[in-house]
Structure 1
Amino acid sequence: MNELLLLKPYLLGPFALPNRMVMAPMTRFRAHEDGTPQPIVADYYAQRASAGLIITEGIWPSARGQAGWRMPGLETPEHVRGWRTVTEAVHAAGGRVFAQLMHGGRQGHPLSRLAGDLPSGPSAVPVPGPVHVRDGGKADPVTPRVMIRADIRHAVQDHVTAARNAMAAGFDGVELHGANSYLIHQFLADNTNLRDDEYGPGTPGGRIRFPVEVVTAVADAIGAHRTGLRLSPGNPQAGMVETDPGPVYRELVERIDGLGLAYLHLTDNDRYPAPADLRPRWHGPLIVNVGENGPATTKDAGEAALAAGRADLVSYGRAFIANPDLPARFARDAPLQPIDTAHLYTHGTAGYTDYPSLDCLTLR
């Protein structure tokens, strides 16, 4: 039997990956109320260290970008110390881990933000409601404050500072979250960027100006080889509208292609097949996720993406939640465990660190 392409090693810049399976970023709400990761977060990621690369859940770079309660941050010394326990645990288990920096932009609510303030975004366009708030409640969405130029400069610097904090915490790199309806995506999309200045759609290159500024600033600060970018062109999550995403994302990818980034991380969808369209314009490593807003990515789907040349690595989300040793399960053609959906977004160990590995199951 031929070895799975997913299990072949890959050299990602200076990082020797034992396989081409990436653990995708997934929000799990296991931080303390101040945004410091709980001790169980170290256990969770260390259990999954056999992934070629782990990308953490979205981490807010500053309180200005906090999208939800009990989401983690990378702003304070306490945050850095908390994340250092995570990176040390992952490295001790033989893994590699990037921190995903996720500025919420318009996402968020005063009831779910430490500062109790309004979120801000490119334009005064609220998310569809209702929205989840602190302690499991729901509330009507708020209209975000429009970011002025000073706010945009602060947002760029917040990403730089958080990236430096990630290096101090021992991360191998950072992924900038330009997907799934968060701030960078909001500047790219039709309905959330209605600006009439140089960051708006009426200016050539306006929609991509903020994404390019963030990517360039972070790459300059910590090294391009430690900087990745995730994009989800055409993703309608949280009410995002991109009528014709191709031209915008082609321009963006062509602008950042020469920076020498660690990777580009793309999600695929039926309406706009981003990996197929953007691959010829991107000359660095490409991670693809083929399960966004649909059935979870399977082993066969990952193999097909690699075999067709649409990706160098494949990211898996839901499969890694319930199967901490996912590469071993693929290697042995073992069945996958289902997700404990009742505890997916709770705050303890249940449905988080209590999924058994294959070796544990065989000892029962």
Structure 2
Amino acid sequence: MKKLLTPFEKGTLKFKNHLVMAPMTRSRAINNLPNELMATYYAQRSGAGLIITEGTSPSPEGLGYPRIPGIYSDAQIQGWKKVTDAVHHNQSKIFLQLMHTGRIAHIANLPDGLQPVSPSGIKAAGEIYTDSLGMQEHSVPQELSLEGINKIINDFVTASKNAVSAGFDGIELHGANGYLLEQFLNPNVNIREDQYGGNYINRSRLTIEIARAVAEAIGKDKVGIRFSPFSQLSDQKPYDEAEVHNTYAHLSIELNKIGIAYIHLLSSPDITEKTYQTIRDAFSNILIFSSGLTPETAEKRLQDSTADLVAFGRSFLSNPDFVKRIENNRSLNDVDYNTLYTPGETGYTDYPADSYIN
């Protein structure tokens, strides 16, 4: 049997297989509330040993995009309970990804009176969709004060506690794809002159402080983080290769000291083997590898121990029974890119499948 399909166990974490469903924004949370349709979607895909949810805001200020869920209100906690119950019914585990979009936002997607925030007041290039105004340029963010940074940390802690109350097995901090935590890491976006800006140690400070505070609040075995070294998504302009390497080497060492459960690495064609190997060597817990995998290349990474778990996004998106398709060597459904972020069932819960659960 393929290692992909065999049970996984390390420390306190036990999954029915080595397959992870990667986090994917789907924009079905009307009024930012998780709902029955979302519960159906995740239940369909609970052949995965571990599901990581779509990016979920820890606070109203972090919503950024239209129709993404939050985890800061009682109603949201109750909505997410429907999801966790459905996934646990099929003996899968589920982590909530906490995503603060920072400057990748528009005020039309935020509650009235709120403005996007970022380490510095540098507007992101490009446009973002809003339900009320269509495509718009990103809003100019407000530079976070030290008081604002402390609030961000507290928001993540509260959101993590809320996630546990909603039945999640843990949380994943979104430190990738150009959102708030990565905005602090990138010297082209973070031009602060205080303890959260300047050298890579200072720019890494917020990520480490949030990880430590959340681990203390809910347990280090319930905390993971996602990184995308060398990524240029969301107007993350490239910076010195050695500086990137030092940043992620430092983060891996410090997160290993905290003892969080995993690092989820979103691979990039530009990531150097040196940086990858440094993360692998510095971090002794679980390494999840994601992006561009096939069942065959994923199996190879498990066999040669360059990854402990492997994550798939689009394959799970369009194939609710993806695990069964691997097991039976069956072809995959194509993704309907026109319905990735539209409301409703179409392109969400209506992909064909012979059987949903492995």
Answer whether TM exceeds 0.5 for this pair. Answer: yes
State the Cα deviation string for residues 62-85 of structure 1 (Å, max 9, x = none). Answer: 002111111000010000000011
Aligned with residue 337 of structure 2, among 341, 352, 362: 341
The alignment partner of 1:57 has SS state of coil
Return the offset for 1:289: 0.7
Unaligned runs of 5+ in 2: none
Looking at structure 2, the residues matched to 6 and 341 of structure 1 have their Cα atoms a distance apart, in angstroms, of 27
Between the aligned partners of 2:164 and 2:20, the Cα distance in structure 1 is 20
Residue 324 of structure 1 aligns with which residue?
320
2:174 is matched with 177
Q: Which of 140, 145, 168 is matched with 2:142 structurally?
A: 145
| Residue in 1 that maps onto 2:124 | 127
Q: Any conservation in 1 of the 2:24–2:313 contact (CA below 8 Å)? A: yes
* Amino-acid identity (%): 39
Aligned residues: 351
Give the CA RMSD over aligned residues: 1.4
The amino acid across from 1:129 in the alignment is: G
Match of 1:14 in 2: 12
- Mapped partners of 1:7, 1:171: distance in 2: 23
Once the two structures are superposed, residues 308-336 of structure 1 have per-residue CA deviations (whole angstroms, 9 ceiling, x without a partner) of 32100001000000111111111111101
Which of 191, 195, 211 is equivalent to 2:192?
195
How big is the shift at 1:117? 2.4
Cα distance in 1 for residues equivalent to 2:214 and 2:105: 24
- For residue 200 of structure 1, report the CA deviation from its aligned partner: 0.5
Q: Deviations over 1:87-139 (max 9, x none)?
A: 01111122110000001111211111123422010011111122222247111
Decide whether aligned partners of structure 1 residues 109 and 271 sit closer, same or farther in structure 2, where only a CA change above 3 A counts. same
Answer whether contact 2:321 2:354 (CA < 8 A) is retained.
yes
Residue matched to 2:307 = 311
2:289 matches 1:288: yes
Q: Counterpart in 2 of 1:258?
A: 257
- The letter of the residue matching 1:275 is Y
Q: Structure 1 unaligned runs (5+)?
A: 292-296
Given that residues 256 and 284 in structure 2 are in contact (C-alpha distance below 8 angstroms), is that contact kept between their aligned partners in structure 1? yes
Taking the aligned partners of 2:326 and 2:113, their CA distance within structure 1 comes to: 45
CA distance, structure 2, for counterparts of residue 90 and residue 12 of structure 1? 21
Of 71, 78, 90, 1:81 maps to: 78
CA distance in 2, matches of 1:301, 1:357: 24
| Cα distance in structure 1, aligned partners of 2:13 and 2:285 | 14
Partner of 2:45: 48
Per-residue Cα deviation, 1:273-295 (whole angstroms, up to 9, x for no partner):
4533310111001101132xxxx
| Cα offsets for 1:36-75 (capped at 9, x unmatched) | 1121000000111110100000000000211111100001
Q: Deviation of residue 359 (structure 1)?
A: 3.6
Distance in 2 between the 1:321 and 1:128 partners? 28
Alignment partner, residue 154 of structure 2: 157
- SS of the equivalent of 2:67 reads coil
| 3-state DSSP of counterpart to 2:30 | coil
Give the TM-score of the pair, scaled to structure 1.
0.93
Aligned partner (choices 197, 201, 219) of residue 223 of structure 1 = 219
Q: TM-score, normalised by structure 2?
A: 0.95
Q: Distance in 2 between matches of 1:251 and 1:269?
A: 19
**Is 1:66–1:113's contact at 8 Å kept on the other side of the alignment?**
yes
Q: Give the C-alpha shift of residue 13 in structure 1.
A: 3.3
One-letter identity of the residue aligned with 1:337: N
State the SS of the aligned residue for 1:193: coil
Amino acid at match of 2:104: Q
SS at match of 1:349: coil
- C-alpha distance in 2, partners of 1:121/1:344? 27
Q: Is residue 2:59 matched to residue 1:62?
A: yes
* Offset of residue 12 of structure 1: 4.2
2:21 corresponds to: 23
3-state SS in 2 of match to 1:358: coil
Please give the alpha-carbon distance, in whole angstroms, between the structure 2 residues aligned to 1:341 and 1:185: 26
Structure-2 residue corresponding to 1:294 = none
SS at match of 1:165: helix
Quote the residue 1:276 is aligned against: 277
| Aligned residue number for residue 246 of structure 2 | 247
Whole-angstrom CA distance in 1 between matches of 2:36 and 2:253: 41
Query: 2 CA distance for matches of 1:109 and 1:162?
Result: 22
1:6 positional shift: 1.2
Residue 206 (structure 1) shift: 0.4
Comparing 251-260 with 166-175, which one deviates more in the overlay?
A: 251-260
Tell me how far apart the structure 2 counterparts of residues 173 and 230 of structure 1 sit (CA, whole Å).
13
1:58 maps to a residue whose letter is: G
Amino acid at match of 1:268: S
